[in-house]
Amino acid sequence: MRSLKGSFLTVVLLTCLLASINAVCQELEPFNDRYCTTCHGADGRGNEGVQAPRLAGMEDWYLIRQLENFRAGIRGMHPQDIEGAAMQPMAAKLSDASIADIVEWADSWPAEPAGITVQGDVVRGEKFYAVCATCHGVHAEGSETLGAPAMAGQNDWYLVTQLKNFMADYRGNHRDDSYGQQMRSMARTLGDEVGIRDVVSYINTFAER
Amino acid sequence: MTDYVSRREFLTLLGVSGGTAAAILAGTALGLLPGGAAAATLDLQMAGTEQRRIAILGGGLSGLTVAYELSKRGYDCTILEASHRCGGRIFTVRNGDLIDEIGNRQYCDFDDEPHMYFNAGAARIPSTHRNILAYCKKLNVELEIFVNENKTSYVQDKSMLGGQRIRNIEYTTHMKGFMAELMAKALDQEDLNAPFSESEAETLLGMIRSFGDLSEDDLYRGSLRAGYATGGFLEHGVQKEIIAFRDLLKTPLGRVLISANEGDTGPMLLQPKGGMDKIVEGFLAQVGDKVKYRAMVASVKVGENGVDITYDQDGVRHPLQADYCFNCIPTHLITGINNNFPAEYVSALKYVRRGEAYKAAFQAKRRFWEEEDIYGGISWMNTPSLQIWYPSHGIHQDKGVVLGAYDYGGGMYHTRMTQQQRIEAHLSDGEKLHPGYGQLVEKPITVAWHRMNHMLGCSARWRRSFSRGWSYEEETHYKTLQQPVNGRHYLIGDQMTMHSAWQESAILSAYWAMADFNQRIPVTQA
């Protein structure tokens, strides 16, 4: 079987080289880790249609940490984390070099704030946010020192999903995910989904749109 | 509704006044019979000297249809296809082909033989889908019969008969027999005489008896239709033992078994010889030079006088200016593209959910099903793998490709598994239908449409509730998306019909858009 692999590939390559413009399959698709925009949208703008968040503007250190968490099965393993479970096998294929390449690519995307889709009680949200501000900053600008990503300008529907996932223990339940564990207990202070929408609607006030 | 006349009464009245022909015409109006047999005709004008540039986003069937029809009329068409192949969910997998699932790339290593292929997406063409059939004829795509339902195939459910497989014909014969017995009992002579004339009642009872193969006393005592236990040729056939009604009711599969021959999947069905993508090849023979592959659309800006598009290819962003744009990118991917669509258009795009259908296939080392009198068709099992399809083509060849799982409704059950878990699940399920299955099949492939690169979903799901039909909100969103933005940007594809998941739908969506477009372009001189 293994010895056949070489000749199999040769046949495929020859077939594709000989293939005319009319062939349905062009050629053996070159492997490339720059897959992100299929789900995360043009220029990593985020795509609500498949619930994939905005990557443009995400901090390098946060992107690396999350890709490594997905790759190691620290994130995206809970069956109820629907989108995380789709991301996990993708990240599992990435090498350190691929992650570095993706981060470099992501840096080239213009970071425009995402549109507003979540409505809530901003005044109530502001009260909730006081505790979040400790790590994420008073303007949700994030802090590398504290390991807390920026949230201003992120897709608000994504923030809602993640807070719900933290609250339900779908995310942050792995023993090696100390930041996630922290968020799990913090998310509980929001009480319920109404609280989540309120705080997200307050976070929405930070980004110029 | 006080003047309500039943269909039967209405037909009776017409039958008296106009005879059979009038009754048949009225039948069309009542939705009982299909309309005329001709394919839809496209009356499109030739391109003029201006407004000739057409951008087609996505090389799916609807996009190819537009490219073919408009190129023929002198328009300058460009197709941007994000992946390495055209056809979208028309996807035939053969030796060497890439299955580009995100996080689970596979290369198919079926034997390199013409009959060793798997239609991982579209797989059946109903004989009433006359527009796709018309293209097959026009593009010289040779067709053959596709067998969907096969009475010698199997049914298996662990709750029925201790999990023992039985033939489809046994299940359906006995079920029809018991149902007929119930019907015959329910309609005693007195009741029958009330709504029906004596001869109508006689006809009805005759049908019920024949439907269920009842004994003269209107009881069901088994039937030779279910197959012989022994004999049948040189000796008298001996009837197989009857299966108790209650046992048949143990499986929910009865619903699909009793209706498998109805609607879109009823006979006659067809398939192109050599794989469904022969249709795509047929189109590409005409418009293949217009396709840009691995060209991912990054932005679509609709202006007053045209559409400005950008796309990424080979790491470079390119502009494409067009006068009109036909877009068959799935709605859930369009929402990830920079655009200037109106808010209600974007809301409608977001409303449509993506399908989750999942298929898997194996290469069979020998055509073991033919050794069990099965030629084509589907076996059903009450497991997540649900179906095994036996190929209608390549009969009596050494090997064949079997479908090992098809979850058309859900699909996420298997999608969420690793490749190894998926295969083990299908082998374990298949074992219940075909003992020794694990040794009979090899070279698995799985196609989880929810994770296929540049698709990320199977057919569009418009309705939130199947039992209630289309809601007002859904109808509104549908109409919003059907109308072109600024009269310049058309959304097409089977997603833009009320009957997604069929190739016919993709073509008809393209026809709707082109007919509308034809009204808007400047009239050219004859």
Partners of B317 in the β-ladder = B312
- Interchain contact, A12 vs B277, CB within 8 Å: no
Q: Is the pLDDT of residue B16 over 50?
A: no
Partners of B353 in the β-ladder = B461
- Interchain contact, A38 vs B102, CB within 8 Å: yes
Residue A35 has a pLDDT of 86
Which residues of chain B make contact with A40, given a CB cutoff of 8 A? 336
Structure tokens at A52: 């994939």
Count CB atoms within 10 A of the CB of residue B316.
7
| Region(s) of chain B under CATH 3.50.50.60 | 53-87+278-352+469-520
Residue type, B421: Q
CA distance A141 to chain B (A): 24
Distance CA B195, CA B470 (A): 35
Residue B79 and residue B63 in contact, taking contact as beta carbons nearer than 8 Å? yes
Provide the pLDDT confidence category of residue A63 given band limits of 50, 70 and 90: very high
Structure tokens at B502: 């069929």
Residue B119 and residue B271 in contact, taking contact as beta carbons nearer than 8 Å? yes
Average pLDDT, chain A: 87
Straight-line distance from the first to the last Cα atom of chain B, in angstroms, rounded to the nearest whole number = 51
Residue (of B80, B69, B79, B78) closest to B47 by Cα position: B69
| Region(s) of chain B under CATH 3.90.660.10 | 92-152+267-273+356-451
Measured between CB atoms, which of B95, B335, B453 is closest to A38? B453
Residue type, B406: Y
Count CB atoms within 10 A of the CB of residue A206.
17
Q: What angle do CA B473, B509, A43 make, to 5 degrees?
A: 75
- Residue environment code for A77-112, b if the CB has 16+ CB neighbours within 10 A, otherwise e: bbeebebbbbbbbbbeebeeebbeebbebbeebebb
Among B89, B292, B450, B451, the strongest candidate for a mutation testing the A interface, having the largest count of A CBs within 10 A, is: B451
Sign of CA dihedral B515, B519, B521, B526: positive
Residue B23 has a pLDDT of 40
Distance CA B314, CA A128 (A): 46
**Tell me: the pLDDT tens digits for B203-260?**
989 999 999 999 999 999 999 999 999 999 999 999 999 999 999 999 999 999 998 8
Distance CA B61, CA B88 (A): 7
Partners of B309 in the β-ladder = B300, B320
| Residue B452 DSSP class | B
Residue B467 has a pLDDT of 81
| Residue A20 DSSP class | -
Ordered by where they begin, the domains of chain A are 122-206 (1.10.760.10)
Measured between CB atoms, which of B281, B336, B349 is closest to A22? B281
| Residue B299 DSSP class | E
Per-residue pLDDT averaged across B351-372, rounded?
97
Residue A28 has a pLDDT of 58
Distance CA A197, CA A24 (A): 47
Distance CA B284, CA B60 (A): 11
Q: For every residue of B186-223, which 3-state class applies, written as one string?
A: HCCHHHHHCCCCHHHHHHHHHHHHHHHCCCCCCCCCCC
* Chain B touched by A1 (CB under 8 Å): no
Residue B193 has a pLDDT of 58
Residue B282 has a pLDDT of 98
Partners of A148 in the β-ladder = A143
**Tell me: the pLDDT tens digits for A67-77?**
999 999 999 99
Is the domain spanning B53-87+278-352+469-520 CATH 3.40.50.2300? The answer is: no
**Tell me: the pLDDT tens digits for B117-142?**
999 999 999 999 999 999 999 999 99
Residue B291 and residue B66 in contact, taking contact as beta carbons nearer than 8 Å? no
- Interchain contact, B102 vs A35, CB within 8 Å: yes
Residue A3 has a pLDDT of 41
Distance CA B99, CA A143 (A): 41
- Interchain contact, B453 vs A35, CB within 8 Å: yes
3-state SS, residue B497: coil
Residue B191 has a pLDDT of 59
Is the domain spanning B92-152+267-273+356-451 CATH 1.10.1060.10? The answer is: no
* Chain A touched by B335 (CB under 8 Å): yes
Which helix (H) or strand (E) segment is B78 a member of?
A: strand B76-80
Residue B445 and residue B118 in contact, taking contact as beta carbons nearer than 8 Å? yes
How many angstroms from the chain centroid is the CA of residue B487? 31
Provide the pLDDT confidence category of residue A34 given band limits of 50, 70 and 90: confident
Structure tokens at B108: 């198919």
ipTM tops the 0.85 cut: no
Fold of B168-250: de novo design (two linked rop proteins) (1.20.1440)
Per-residue pLDDT averaged across A148-170, rounded?
97
The single residue listed with the structure tokens 């309609």 is B187
Distance CA B526, CA B521 (A): 14
**Tell me: the pLDDT tens digits for A180-205?**
999 999 999 999 999 999 999 999 99
Distance CA B146, CA B132 (A): 15
Measured between CB atoms, which of A21, A27, A38 is closest to B288? A21
Residue B187 has a pLDDT of 77
Distance CA B119, CA B273 (A): 11
CA distance B293 to chain A (A): 8
Residue B89 and residue B502 in contact, taking contact as beta carbons nearer than 8 Å? no
CA distance B415 to chain A (A): 9
- Interchain contact, B350 vs A48, CB within 8 Å: yes
Alpha helices (H) in B55-213, listed in sequence order? 61-72, 130-138, 168-186, 189-193, 198-212
pTM of the model: 0.89
Distance CA A166, CA B368 (A): 51
- Interchain contact, B416 vs A49, CB within 8 Å: no
- Interchain contact, A22 vs B336, CB within 8 Å: no
